[in-house]
Structure 1
Amino acid sequence: MLAVDVCAPVGTVAHPLATPDDLAETARLVEAEGRRVVTAQVDVRDADALTAAVADGVARLGGLDVVLANAGIGLMDPAADPRQAFRDQLDVNLVGVWNTVHAAVPVLLEQGHGGAVVLTSSVFGLGGDGTGGGDGYVAGKHGVVGLMRTFATWLAPHGIRVNCVNPSGVATPMVLDPAVEALFGGP
């Protein structure tokens, strides 16, 4: 398994993001199951660094069968510039997914034995609120569904299936953040 995370804050995001300790804990949990894991602190917005991390992971692990493009940020800081919040949402939630697929799919194609690509969108991407962060989230998550459709058409002839999952609220630090609770009428 190759696990990649930026492990750093994104300036416009209101909730804490994963840390290097979180990534290390992921590796520990994978290894506790008797599996191998390679980790990399990479920002999915950086296509070149992501491609290098995939190449390193493939070299160390011996191949690639499944790609999970789960790039995403959520609630934006209300004090953030809405234009920057919009761009950050699109850059992480949409461009990051595109970068992940384009970093990994050449390996699947070269291996020549098919594979799977899974993209993560969101049911919360079904409506905006007129803010830069909210509208960026919706546009990005709708865009992920569009990417799934175009990637499926592109990759099906190579035996690579492409799916998209659209989860609702999952108990993560992003969703459990007090600012998110306030947004949805919680405590």
Structure 2
Amino acid sequence: MGKLDGKVAFITGAGRGQGRSHAIRLAQEGADIIAVDIAAPIASVPYPLSTPEDLAETVRLVEALDRRIYARQADVRDKPALKAVYEAGVAELGPVDIVLPNAGIIHHGVKDFSPEEIFRDVIDVNLVGVWNTISLIAPDMVARDAGGAIVLTSSTQGSSGRGGDGSPAGLGYAAAKHGVVGLMRTYANWLSPHNIRVNAVHPTGVATGMILNDALGRWMEENPAGVASAANLMPIGMVDPVDISNAILFLVSDDGRYVTGISLPVDAGFSVK
């Protein structure tokens, strides 16, 4: 018996990184997965994003756990495309119980695009994409009257501006991740009376392709003071994706059945440094 037997989870950014980890961890506990990923480049993003092959690998890994998965490409900024995947996934697997609007990007080190383009891309993916996802699914969860759980992915940058910079990329990322907390609190007030719990996780740096790439590596070399100010209190550089997945599992399972409206840091002490 798994903690999530009979549940269906909708996960964005599921092609790799944290999203893939969440899909696998929830599937290990019995959930079926609707997986969404852009699986394509975004012009202003200076590192490789996921590919169709990455999304196919997520499918393989979930199916190896003997769970069902419906996976399709869609850009979270494109609400009609997201809606089409959601509706098709529900038709295939059943109604959604768990929502993880996880998709996100970072732009450190970008020099070839205007400040307006960079800021807009970060806000549109990291904040508007979260709203697009929840606004599609939450009304159906309320109408179904079966409860559920939503976990938004914020960041240490959603609780502190420490480690950021004055660039449109840094400002956009911090603004989006603070905005995610506002969405979480507002949705928690609306949805908790319907037994739909809404929380946020705040990871420190996570060992994924979003962090482990040449573009961010160059930025870190050029900004040692910013890197030092963003260091964790515990003597580790980054956490693993499964560390975030385990926190999310707690929040979406009955282990966290009375937990709603909180920001849960998984940050190796960053928030108390």
Instruction: Output the TM-score relative to the length of structure 2.
Output: 0.66
In structure 2, what residue type is equivalent to 1:185? E
Matched positions, count: 187
CA distance in 2 between counterparts of 1:39 and 1:103 reads: 17
* 1:149 alignment partner, one of 185, 191, 195: 185
CA offset digits 1:162-181 (Å, max 9, x no partner): 01001111111110012212
* 2:217 alignment partner, one of 165, 177, 181: 181
Residue 51 of structure 2 is aligned to residue 25 of structure 1: no
- CA displacement at 1:6 relative to structure 2: 0.7
1:23-172 matches, within 5 Å, as: 23-76=55-108, 77-125=110-158, 126-127=160-161, 128-172=164-208
In structure 1, what residue type is equivalent to 2:56? A
CA distance in 2 between counterparts of 1:54 and 1:145 reads: 24
- CA displacement at 1:106 relative to structure 2: 2.2
Residue identity over aligned pairs, in percent, reads 55
Farther-moved stretch of structure 1 (75-84 vs 136-145): 75-84
CA offset digits 1:93-143 (Å, max 9, x no partner): 000000010111122112211000010011134324111111111100110
Structure 1 unaligned runs (5+)?
none
- CA displacement at 1:78 relative to structure 2: 2.4
Kept after mapping to 2: 8 A contact 1:86/1:136: yes
In structure 2, what residue type is equivalent to 1:23? L
Kept after mapping to 1: 8 A contact 2:77/2:132: yes
- CA displacement at 1:80 relative to structure 2: 1.8
CA offset digits 1:24-58 (Å, max 9, x no partner): 10011000000000011100001111112111111
Kept after mapping to 2: 8 A contact 1:75/1:174: no
In structure 1, what residue type is equivalent to 2:79? A
Q: Which has the bigger relative contact order, CA under 8 A and spacing at least 6?
A: 1
Could you say what the CA RMSD is over the residues aligned between the two structures, in angstroms? Answer: 1.5
* 1:2 alignment partner, one of 21, 28, 34: 34
In structure 2, what residue type is equivalent to 1:90? I
